């Protein structure tokens, strides 16, 4: 019994000892595959270290309304179609950080500063003394003199306070303008999130590319370093009888229309700074209902006419 207990303790200790090693190895493999390589983003990305959250295991992996809110709050740092360098990969317990062009503003060393408040003067001792004098003035003429003097002091104080508020507002506007300028060149990131933890097959170059396929076009250099099982040829739109089978999330509007032809009906709406496009296609006796955000296919359904 004692030997069995010792064996269990030893196996548990070994598992805990090997976990950090495997963890480090998976991050090292991803860094080797991606860092320093270039990719092309398929959506506008916010200039913040909060980036874009991707939940590969969910029915809707990305909340584009949340992306719109973040790009509105933090400005657009990476534009759709922009090619950018992968600058850092970080593997944590429940997420993989895929950092682009610096990872977004708000990383270690970035200082957002604080709002500047106006330093306003309060009622002075002289004003308080005049208020008391008004109450005890010996006659109406003296009372009017005290009131006039008090009004002049209050007007002067409010004028200085107004000036202080205007200067603080101007300083805050300048600070915000500088921040937006810094955010616009700070890059962004994808936070690839899993619950409760990142599965082992997701900690591979192939797993990362599958998770981001709808939002990132991986360059030839990256593909060569971290080959996907489907190969480069799967990224090219098919034609003819294979067109319907080739429709997949992440295609551009132009690629879908190369496959299916012009849309039968089309509509557009705004979700913050993002443009949501609906398109209906008739192809080979089927109806394809497609949704695009900023020209990228995010959802579709194929059914009978």
SS (H, E, C) 117-158: CCCCCCCCHHHHHHHHHHHCCCCHHHHHHHHHHHHHHHHHHH
Closest to 297 (Cα-Cα) out of 240, 264, 258: 258
Which of 202-206, 245-249, 280-284 is the least confident region?
A: 245-249
Domain ranges (residues) in the chain: 19-110+186-233, 125-181, 236-304
SS3 277: strand
Q: Using the structure block, give the residue that is written with the tokens 């080959």.
A: 227
Bridge partner list, 98: 89, 190
- Output the pLDDT for position 53: 97
Task: Pick one of 3.20.20.70, 1.10.486.10, 3.30.1450.10, 3.30.360.10 as the CATH number of 236-304.
Answer: 3.30.1450.10
* Rounded distance between C-alpha atoms, residue 238 and residue 256, angstroms: 10
Band the pLDDT of 285: cuts 50, 70, 90. confident
Percent of the chain residues past pLDDT 70, beyond the cut? 77
- Output the pLDDT for position 54: 97
Higher pLDDT, 245 or 227: 245
Question: Is the pLDDT confidence value at 1 over 50?
Answer: no
**Helix-then-strand count for the chain, H and E:** 8, 12
Which of 133-137, 180-184, 188-192 is the least confident region?
A: 180-184
- Output the pLDDT for position 299: 84
Query: Helix 205-212 to helix 2-34 angle, to the nearest 10 degrees?
Result: 60
Question: Is the pLDDT confidence value at 207 over 90?
Answer: yes
């Amino acid at each position: 019994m004692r030997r069995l207990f010792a064996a269990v303790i030893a196996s548990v200790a070994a598992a805990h000892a090997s976990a950090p090693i495997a963890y480090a190895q998976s991050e090292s493999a991803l860094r080797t595959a991606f860092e320093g390589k270039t990719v092309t983003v398929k959506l506008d990305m916010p200039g913040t270290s909060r980036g874009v959250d991707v939940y590969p295991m969910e029915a809707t992996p990305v909340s584009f309304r949340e992306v719109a809110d973040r790009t509105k709050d933090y400005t657009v740092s990476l534009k759709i179609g922009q090619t950018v360098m992968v600058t850092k990969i970080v593997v944590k317990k429940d997420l993989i950080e895929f950092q682009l062009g610096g990872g977004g503003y708000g990383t270690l060393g970035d200082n957002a500063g604080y709002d500047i408040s106006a330093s306003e003067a309060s009622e002075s001792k002289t004003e308080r003394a005049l208020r008391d004098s008004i109450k005890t003035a010996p006659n109406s003429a003296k009372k009017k003199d005290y009131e006039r003097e008090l009004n002049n002091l209050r007007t002067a104080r409010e004028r200085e306070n107004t000036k202080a508020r205007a200067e603080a507002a101007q300083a805050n506007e300048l600070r915000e303008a500088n921040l937006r300028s810094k955010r616009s060149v700070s890059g962004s990131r994808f936070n690839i999130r899993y619950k409760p933890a990142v599965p082992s097959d997701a900690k591979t170059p192939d797993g990362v590319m599958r998770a981001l396929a709808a939002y990132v076009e991986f360059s030839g250099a990256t593909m060569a370093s971290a080959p996907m099982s489907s190969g480069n040829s799967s990224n090219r739109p098919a034609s003819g009888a294979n067109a319907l089978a080739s429709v997949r999330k992440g295609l551009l509007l132009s690629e879908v229309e190369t496959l299916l032809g012009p849309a039968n009906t089309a509509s557009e709406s705004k979700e913050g700074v993002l443009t949501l496009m609906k398109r209906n296609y008739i192809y080979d006796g089927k109806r394809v209902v497609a949704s695009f955000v900023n020209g990228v296919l995010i959802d579709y359904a194929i059914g009978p006419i």
